[in-house]
Every structure is written in structure tokens, then in C-alpha cells.
Amino acid sequence: MNSPIAGDREAREIIMRKETAAGREFRAEKDRKDDLDKRLSRMVRLGYRKAPRVREIFRDRKLKPGDIERREDLSRLPVLSREQVVAMEKERPPFGGFAREDRSFQRIFTSPGPVYEPHLDEGGLWAAGYRAAGIGKGDVVLNAFSYHMVAAGLTFHEGLRACGATVVPSGASSTELQVQLIRDLGVTAYTGTPSFLMAIISKAEENGRDFKKDFRLRKAVFVAEPLRPAVRETLEKKYGIDTCQMYGATEVGDIAYECPAKKGWHLGEDVIVEIVDPYSGTAVETGRLGEVVVTRLNDLFFLFRFGTGDLSSLIDTPCSCGRTSPRLAGIAGRVGEAVKVRGLFIAPSQIALLKERFPGVGVQVEITLRNNRDHVRVTLEAESPPADIMGRFQALFTGICTVRADEIRIAGPGSIRNPGKLLLDLREWNG
């Protein structure tokens, strides 16, 4: 018998096959590259004419618009962090000289900083992600993102509408009210954070409801908060809710989204995403960890190379869903937490991922200097470790961190001094 999730997957396959003929998500890689390059070149020329900040950045770098015609040329421009954008907007309110001055904007949003953002798109943002999650006509979606000041509520709302779904703009209402809306309106899908959906489910159970039996909610699309594997499993197995994730930033809109294969997040078709060494700003090799840097192709807000501060890596092998864009391998943490080892970055979240694969085993990774070379030492703490643990750990370590561990040692319980710290950089002490 089909579970509700398997049924949804079949429905999605049909939608995707329909999209294959026309959808940009399924075009050849070369066609995508040519299209993005052409749009980038157009945005550069327009930005140079219309946005004073763009002219200044180009002047400082001794560049002319003709110098940036392809994504490879972007490395000649600086990566701009959120902090830098905040400072530039403060210096020249409201948009720091990045927005065109001859247009009126439909809306202006703000987010903490403060950062002011002109609304970037009339409806297309996030739609690809919702579509990939199987949301469409016939769905009634609870949008539990705030509609007040910030971009989230309204932007997700329009993405849902672009898919043909009916939206319940429930925003940050109480869990009690959200439960009532789910029941009274026959809500079929949720978009918001995973923690808030869990709170809504708890409230329903507190009220004596059986969430799976009494309600029709079978899909959830999450943004703005990591979806922990245990939470995903609970939602899918216990409550029969198919979960999908999307990823973006207020400054640049949607960046990537999960497809039904759930093995990475496909890059959107209106952004150029680079994975760069956060210190030098140059691209890292495909598959290596680096900062996610985004340029949203548009003709209103000319922010080139926005540094999200998030760490990820790219997967460029074909995906079973048929979409041809590369995928982000989730978010591995923030730039400040990463440690550079022999030219590559390792993040604590990668070690946490490894640890999950070895229940009951304590893990700590120390980076030191030996003979002027970075040395990676792993301590595994276990009472009676399985015989093959070293080999399995080394293989997984190399797979997840893309760096080889130089030394793996097994130690008895209580040997790890600071068990809360998964990754220790001790190189300063060694000189």
C-alpha cells in the first residue's frame, strides 16, 4: 500500500515530467551558463549606468563594465558581507547606492542591521522551490512567516501563489490559532520553520487531536532554520508529512531548494552562486567547502557577489530528479567557525555529522602543526569500539571533510578533555 508520501512523490514525478519540456530547470548546462552570463553582462552595464555605488566599486578596481561579462570575471569584484552592506546603507541611505534611482519600488523591506531592500521580483521568487516540493493548485498552504516589515511573509506568499496554491497568511499567530486554521480550512501544506511546526503539532496533541488522522496537512516546506535529521524523521514517519527545504537570504532572495531526491539543494535559475575561499574570495574546487557567494540577476538592486557567511560545497553529479543545475550540499555552518587545513576548510558541523554515524562514540578533531604542516588528529572515545571503527571512520572522514586524517586514536571514556568542542584549532600554540 502506498504511504501518503509515496503518493505525493508520484504526483510530483508527473509534474516534473511536464516541466521537462519547457522548464529552465532541465536545460543543458551550457545553455544555462550562456543565459546567466548574458544576463550578468546586462546587469553589469545597467548597474554601472544607474547605481553610483557600482561605478565606485568598478573605479576602485580599475574596471570597466566590459570587463565583467561571464561568471568567471566576477572574481575581479569584491565579495560584500552583510556587515559591509549595512555600513554602506548607513553611509548612503536607504540603499547604499546599489539601487537604481529612476524607478519606484513596489515595496521596501527591512531586516535587522538594519538593511533596507527593495522588493526584487514580482512573484517568481521561491516558486521553483515550492513547485519542487509538490505544491500546486488545490493546496491550501499555511504561511507561518511574518508579514510585518520583513520580506519573508509576502515573498513566500507570492511564490506560493505563482504555483497556484491558496495561501493562509497566518504569520506569527499563536499555535492555538494555527491549529484552528489547519482544521477549519483543510490546510494541506505548511511553510515556516521546523521548530514552529513542531510547536503547532504539540499544541494540537495537547488539545487531544491526532495530527495525522484528524488533519490533511501532508507537506511542509522549510526555510530560515536548519532541519535536523531527527526532526525530519519524526515529521515524515510519525506524522506522514513530506518535508522539503529551501535556502535563501533577504538581500538576494531564493538561492537553492531541495528536489524530491532530497540529496542537496538545486541552485535557482536567477542567481549566480560561487563557492569561494572566504579569505581570498577566489573560487574553491567543486566539492570543496567554502563561502556561498551570490549575485541575483535583476534590474533594480545591483548587489554583486553578496557573501552570505554560510559554508557549503557544490555537488555537480547528475540528480535523479532530472534537474540539471548543480546542488548545494546543505549548510555546513558559518564562515567564522571554519578551520582551514592544508588549504581546505573543515567546519564543526561536518564533525557533528560524522559523530551521528557512530552512536555512543565521542569524537574530537585537533589541528596542530607538525614540521610546518597541518596535522589532523582524531580522538575516538569509546568503551568497547567495534574492530573496524578506524577504517570506517577514516573513509567517512575523508568523504565528508575532503581532508584525510593523519592520525586516529581510540581512547577510553573520559579522555576527551573538552567534549563540547568537536573541532579544536591548536596551531597558534605550536607556533
Query: Quick one: residue 361, left, alpha or beta (phi over 0 = left, psi -120 to 50 = alpha)?
Result: beta
Smallest distance, Zn ion to C-beta of residue 28, A: 16
Residues 287-316 touching Zn ion, rule: CB under 5 A, are none
Q: Using CA atoms in the order 286, 288, 291, 297, what is the torsion angle rounded to 10 degrees?
A: 10
Backbone angles phi, psi at 416, to 5 degrees: -75, 120
Choose the binding region for Zn ion from 27-35, 77-85, 95-103, 321-329 (rule: CB under 5 A). Answer: 321-329
Smallest distance, Zn ion to C-beta of residue 335, A: 27
Smallest distance, Zn ion to C-beta of residue 23, A: 12
Instruction: For Zn ion, give the closer residue by CB, 128 or 200.
Output: 128
Beta-strand pair 140-143/166-168: parallel
Smallest distance, Zn ion to C-beta of residue 264, A: 7
Instruction: For Zn ion, give the closer residue by CB, 235 or 259.
Output: 259
Binding test (CB under 5 A) with Zn ion, winner from 115, 125, 163, 319: 319
**In the chain, what is the straight-line distance between the N-terminal and C-terminal CA atoms, in Å?**
63
Smallest distance, Zn ion to C-beta of residue 242, A: 15
Contact string (CB under 5 A) for Zn ion, positions 334-373, x = contact: ----------------------------------------
Binding test (CB under 5 A) with Zn ion, winner from 220, 321, 346, 354: 321
Total residue count of the chain as it appears in this document: 431
Backbone angles phi, psi at 71, to 5 degrees: -60, -30
Q: Which residues of 171-183 are buried (b: 16+ CB within 10 A; e: fewer)?
A: beeebeebbbbbb
Smallest distance, Zn ion to C-beta of residue 219, A: 17
The answer to the question of residue 323 lying near Zn ion (CB under 5 A) is: yes
Residue 149 one-letter amino acid:
M
The answer to the question of residue 252 lying near Zn ion (CB under 5 A) is: no
The answer to the question of residue 261 lying near Zn ion (CB under 5 A) is: yes
Q: Distance between CA atoms of 28 and 397, rounded to whole angstroms?
A: 33
The answer to the question of residue 12 lying near Zn ion (CB under 5 A) is: no
Smallest distance, Zn ion to C-beta of residue 259, A: 3
Contacts by residues 145-154 (CB-CB < 8 Å, ≥ 24 positions apart): 145/171, 145/191, 145/192, 145/223, 145/224, 146/171, 146/172, 147/171, 148/172, 149/109, 149/110, 150/109, 150/110, 150/111, 150/250, 151/109, 151/111, 151/117, 151/119, 151/250, 152/223, 152/224, 152/250, 154/107
Contacts by residues 82-86 (CB-CB < 8 Å, ≥ 24 positions apart): 82/113, 82/115, 82/251, 82/306, 82/307, 82/308, 82/309, 85/113, 85/115, 85/251, 85/303, 85/306, 86/113, 86/114, 86/115
Cell of 113: 542591521
Smallest distance, Zn ion to C-beta of residue 101, A: 40
Q: Binding-site residue total for Zn ion (CB under 5 A)?
A: 5
The answer to the question of residue 219 lying near Zn ion (CB under 5 A) is: no
Instruction: For Zn ion, give the closer residue by CB, 50 or 327.
Output: 327
Smallest distance, Zn ion to C-beta of residue 323, A: 5
Choose the binding region for Zn ion from 58-66, 71-79, 320-328, 393-401 (rule: CB under 5 A). Answer: 320-328
Instruction: For Zn ion, give the closer residue by CB, 16 or 141.
Output: 16
Q: Distance between CA atoms of 64 and 67, rounded to whole angstroms?
A: 5
Choose the binding region for Zn ion from 70-78, 185-193, 254-262, 361-369 (rule: CB under 5 A). Answer: 254-262
Instruction: For Zn ion, give the closer residue by CB, 202 or 317.
Output: 317
Choose the binding region for Zn ion from 100-108, 177-185, 322-330, 411-419 (rule: CB under 5 A). Answer: 322-330
Instruction: For Zn ion, give the closer residue by CB, 32 or 53.
Output: 32
Smallest distance, Zn ion to C-beta of residue 132, A: 8
Binding test (CB under 5 A) with Zn ion, winner from 162, 220, 259, 311: 259
- Secondary structure (3-state) at 313: coil
Do residues 20 and 26 make contact, with C-beta atoms less than 8 angstroms apart?
yes
Choose the binding region for Zn ion from 234-242, 259-267, 337-345, 419-427 (rule: CB under 5 A). Answer: 259-267
Residues lying near Zn ion in the complex (CB under 5 A): 259, 261, 319, 321, 323
